[in-house]
Structure 1
Amino acid sequence: MSVGTRNKGLLAATVMALMMSGLAVFLIFTVQNGSTAISANEISEIATMQQATVDCDFGFSSMKTGTSVILEDTITNTLGSIIPSLLIIGTISVDAGEDKHDTLRARILHEIENFPGIHLRELRRHLDCAMGALQYHLSNLEEAGLVVSHRMGNTRHLFIDGFTSEERNMELAALIRNATVRSIIQQCLAESEITQAELSRVLSLDKSLVSYYVSSLLDADIVQKLKVFGREKPLVVKEWAVKAIADLGLALE
Structure 2
Amino acid sequence: MDEFELDSRRDIYAAVADRPGVHFRGLLDRLDVAQGTLQYHLRELADAGLVDVSDDGKFTRYYPAGEFDDEDQRRMNALRREYSRRIIAHLLADGPLTTSELSDRLERSASTISWHLSKLDDADLVSRRRDGQRVYYAVRDPDRVRYLYVVHRRSFTDGVVDRLLGLWDAY
TM-score by length of 2: 0.79
Match among 111, 120, 126 for residue 15 of structure 2: 111
Matches within 5 A, 1:12-31: none
Conserved? CA contact 2:96–2:136, under 8 Å: yes
Shift of the 247–204 alpha-carbon distance from structure 1 to 2, 3 Å rule, reads closer
Does 2:124 align with 1:221? yes
Match of 1:242 in 2: 143
Give the C-alpha shift of residue 103 in structure 1.
2.3
SS class of match (1:148): strand
The runs of at least 4 aligned residues of structure 1 exceeding 3 Å deviation read none
Kept in 2: contact 1:116–1:174 (CA 8 A): no
The whole-number CA distance in structure 1 between the counterparts of 2:95 and 2:118 is 19
Tell me how far apart the structure 2 counterparts of residues 129 and 151 of structure 1 sit (CA, whole Å): 22
Q: In the alignment, is the contact (CA less than 8 A) between 1:223 and 1:238 conserved in 2?
A: yes
Mapped partners of 1:155, 1:109: distance in 2: 18
Q: How far off its partner does 1:154 sit?
A: 5.3
Q: Which runs of 5+ in 1 are unaligned?
A: 1-99
Change in Cα spacing, 1:245 to 1:159, as seen in structure 2 (3 Å) is farther
**How far, CA to CA, are the matches of 1:232 and 1:134 in structure 2?**
47
Distance 1:184 1:247, change over 3 A: closer
Give the conservation status (yes or no) of the 8 Å contact 1:113–1:159: yes
Q: Where does residue 57 of structure 2 map in the other structure?
A: 153
**Deviation, structure 1 residue 250:** 3.9
- Quick check: 1:233 aligned with 2:141? no
Q: CA deviation at 1:192?
A: 3.1
Native 8 Å contact 1:145 1:161 kept in 2: yes
Shift of 1:155: 2.9
Letter in 1 for 2:93: A
Higher relative contact order (CA 8 A, sep 6+): 2
Show the 5 A alignment for 1:32-43. none
The percent identity for this pair of structures is 29
Given the superposition, is the C-alpha separation of residues 222 and 231 from structure 1 closer, same or farther in structure 2, using an over 3 Å criterion?
Answer: same
Separation in 2, partners of 1:176, 1:247? 9
Q: Does 1:163 align with 2:72?
A: no
Q: C-alpha distance in 1, partners of 2:148/2:115?
A: 27
Task: Name which one, 1 or 2, has greater alpha-carbon Rg.
Answer: 1
Matched, 1:189 2:76: no
- Does the 8 Å contact 1:188/1:236 carry over to 2? yes
Residue 245 of structure 1: how far off its partner (Å) = 4.1
AA matched with 1:243: R
Q: For 1:209, which of 109, 112, 118 is the aligned residue? A: 112
Matched pairs, number: 150
2-side partners of 1:103 and 1:245: how far apart?
Answer: 34
Quick check: 1:129 aligned with 2:33?
yes
**Residues 115-144 of structure 1, C-alpha deviation per residue, up to 9 Å, x if partnerless?**
111111121112142101111111111122
Which protein is richer in strand relative to its size?
1
**Cα separation, 2, equivalents of 1:154 and 1:226:** 27
SS of the aligned residue for 1:226 comes to strand
Secondary structure of 1:233 counterpart: strand
Q: CA deviation at 1:189?
A: 0.5
